[in-house]
Homo-oligomer: A and B are copies of this chain.
Amino acid sequence: MTEPKSDALIVFTPSGRRGRFALGTPVLQAARALGVDIDSVCGGRAICGRCQVTVSEGEFAKHAIVSRASHITPATRGEEHYAEKRALKPGRRLSCQALIEGDVVVDVPSESQVHKQVVRKRPDTRPIAMDPASRLYYVEVDEPDMHHPSSDLERLYRALETQWQVTGVTTDLAIMQTLQKALRQGEWKVTVAIHHRLATGGKRVTAIWPGFHDRAYGLAVDIGSTTIAAHLTNLSTGEVTASAGLMNPQIRFGEDLMSRVSYVMMNPGGDREMTAVVREAINTLAHEVADEAGIEISDILEVVAVGNPIMHHLFLGIDPTELGGAPFALATGLAVTRPAREFDLEVNPGAYVYLLPCIAGHVGADAAGMVLSESPHLSDDIMLLVDVGTNAEIILGNRDRLLACSSPTGPAFEGAQISCGQRAAPGAIDRVRIDAQTLEPRFKVIGCDLWSDEPGFEEAIAQSGVTGICGSGIIEAIAEMYLAGIVNQDGQVDGAMGKVSPRVRPHQRTFSYVLRDGEPLISVTQNDVRAIQLAKAALYAGARLLMDRLGVTSVDKIRLAGAFGSHIDVKYAMVLGLIPDCRLDRVHSAGNAAGTGARIALVNMAARDEIEQVVRRIEKVETAVEPKFQQHFVEAMAFPHKTATFPELAKTVRLPAAKSVETATADGGERRRRRRG
């Protein structure tokens, strides 16, 4: 007879960590001892169900892994109770309940890991690793004992230390005020939230609930000058549970950023009004997403916000006037970690707000969010990130060096300063094609899936009508006009084309092209073309300036972010020369990269350190004081000659015949030289 073994080998997959433990050791305890990442809120009491694993016995020989129940204790009453109430997938065990009885292989599914990875939709982006700053801990606190007097808070700390090995914790005043009731209501069992990353490095109890509580959420907020968007994110799974957006109510103080700064300059205290309304708007969104997700507003433990420098300052309650003129000095560009109550946010009273750092006076926390999302600092390739708004924020570089600037594109890309321009809204033309032979257009409007020449189009748009052209629509319209020869390389609307089609008509001593006759008449005027030329030249010149600084003549990858960047067809952006030369298959929309960056910082503590460090080493370039910017700007006014530089482009869009007999090369410098001539 062999001596019965007193311990057994346990192997965790996928980590491969292994060790021997005394028989009767809970699997969760073994996992912790080996540093295997298994989540738990209830601390081993079969309540939370976060610690689920799949158990196999093991001889550890190939094919030998078959289920032998004897190597693990059967389900406990607590586990059965959990399975009845919350449903446990077949084969799953709660690792806190399953005790080791013999050699076993235990698989930790990704959803049971604290630091699970959340895969993003775009395949070219890195996954988001979960590592939230706020975590929940369920504890059983000792009752007061007159023979050993100690305060409720001290007993809570002791429970956190013995049950969770969490030490060095401090506590908000609000928690001290509610602690007694929570402990007694929960019969000395409470769940606390601990914030692990204060600016000063401490840990703090920020929320408390009687009994077991397993809802911890965060709000990622993107404060745009036009719209504010909020994404309610589950801090355990990383999932976005609900999203909502609304118009930035500051619009009533001024349509664009500069008019809001002017409002403050003309109306002392105007900044405080704008601070109040933006915070109210975030509260509205918080309630909206909480309602949609069916959670309490107090389940929101973190808010991470991004925005351009003026939005950033107004959210913080800082007068943005200094940002309205040279030297464009930020009051602070550093990341901010402050209690949400200081922002009057109606989330959990102990919640914290984290604001991403700003990069420079015109390159805000939204640009930092874009960097976090697109990660040029981790890339070997040279990446160009562009977020186009009234200003274009431009980031260029790779893991070795990063540069940033802002370029004054003006509002043309957003449809402003365009004769028939409008915001992207139902009724706005956003897609345009022009027949190069007949010069007849066809187009699509937002809110309708049909092209204008398809049957049923007029009925489909009867309600909205066709009201104007949005930013992406004007880009396509002008690019197609250029490709059809209606506009030449210098940006002139060619009146001679009026002989081909009556859609080219005289208009205020120049010519315009009519997309749609009727009421209203929708046309693209010479002035519209000029406005887009100015905007795209500014954008291009900013990118060129950074390329000069970095010493490169081309970039490997381009990401277009923001609403405009997400809507435009990158082909047309290249036709008009908004962005430098790049292989078309390497130019992508990054969607709402700023918001994604906020979401990453929301669920991953280390990402906050990361972006703060990256922003510190980004070299800030101020276009206003760079003489070369003007030079690039002037040179970039004309539309590029495309046939040779973009052979792959020729396959997807119809290019006009080259008007120049010079031999085109792939060299951007060469191209510039031609343009200057």
Q: Give CA–CA (A204, B342) in the complex, Å.
A: 16
Q: Could you say which of B173, B319, B330 contacts A316, with CB atoms under 8 Å apart?
A: B173
B contact residues around A622 at 8 Å (CB): 146-147, 149
Q: Give CA–CA (A187, B620) in the complex, Å.
A: 25
Asked whether any CB of chain B lies closer than 8 Å to the CB of A502, the reply is no
Asked whether any CB of chain B lies closer than 8 Å to the CB of A317, the reply is yes
Q: Give CA–CA (A326, B358) in the complex, Å.
A: 54
Q: Give CA–CA (A322, B184) in the complex, Å.
A: 11
Stretch at the interface among A174-182, A431-439, A518-526, A605-613: A174-182
Q: Give CA–CA (A338, B152) in the complex, Å.
A: 19
B contact residues around A204 at 8 Å (CB): 200
Closest to A358 in B: B151
Asked whether any CB of chain B lies closer than 8 Å to the CB of A123, the reply is no
Q: Are B318 and A176 touching (Cβ within 8 A)?
A: yes
* Chain A 321-353 interface 0/1 with B at a Cβ cutoff of 8 Å (1 = within): 010001111111110101000100000000000
Shortest CB distance A303–B (Å)? 14
B contact residues around A148 at 8 Å (CB): 620
B contact residues around A331 at 8 Å (CB): 151-153, 176-177, 179-180
Shortest CB distance A41–B (Å)? 24
* Chain A 147-162 interface 0/1 with B at a Cβ cutoff of 8 Å (1 = within): 1111111100000000
Shortest CB distance A193–B (Å)? 17
Known A176-B336, A180-B329, A200-B200; further 6 A-B contacts with Cβ < 8 A: A144-B328, A146-B625, A151-B332, A173-B336, A177-B318, A179-B332
Asked whether any CB of chain B lies closer than 8 Å to the CB of A102, the reply is no
Closest to A202 in B: B200
Chain A interface: which size bin? 35 or more
Asked whether any CB of chain B lies closer than 8 Å to the CB of A3, the reply is no
Asked whether any CB of chain B lies closer than 8 Å to the CB of A198, the reply is yes
Q: Give CA–CA (A195, B148) in the complex, Å.
A: 35
Q: Give CA–CA (A358, B625) in the complex, Å.
A: 60
Asked whether any CB of chain B lies closer than 8 Å to the CB of A145, the reply is yes
Asked whether any CB of chain B lies closer than 8 Å to the CB of A470, the reply is no
Q: Give CA–CA (A152, B327) in the complex, Å.
A: 11
B contact residues around A177 at 8 Å (CB): 316-319, 331
Shortest CB distance A530–B (Å)? 28
Asked whether any CB of chain B lies closer than 8 Å to the CB of A90, the reply is no
Closest 8 CB pairs of A and B: A200-B202, A144-B329, A151-B330, A153-B332, A151-B333, A144-B327, A200-B200, A149-B620
Asked whether any CB of chain B lies closer than 8 Å to the CB of A53, the reply is no
Q: Give CA–CA (A330, B181) in the complex, Å.
A: 12
Q: Are B199 and A201 touching (Cβ within 8 A)?
A: no
Shortest CB distance A157–B (Å)? 8
B contact residues around A176 at 8 Å (CB): 316-318, 331-332, 336
Asked whether any CB of chain B lies closer than 8 Å to the CB of A624, the reply is yes
Closest to A353 in B: B173
Asked whether any CB of chain B lies closer than 8 Å to the CB of A361, the reply is yes
List 30 contacting pairs A-B, 8 Å CB cutoff, sorted by A: A144-B329, A146-B328, A146-B622, A146-B624, A146-B625, A147-B622, A148-B620, A149-B327, A149-B328, A149-B329, A151-B333, A151-B334, A152-B329, A152-B330, A152-B331, A153-B334, A170-B199, A173-B338, A176-B316, A177-B316, A177-B318, A179-B332, A180-B318, A180-B319, A180-B322, A198-B200, A200-B202, A201-B201, A201-B202, A202-B202
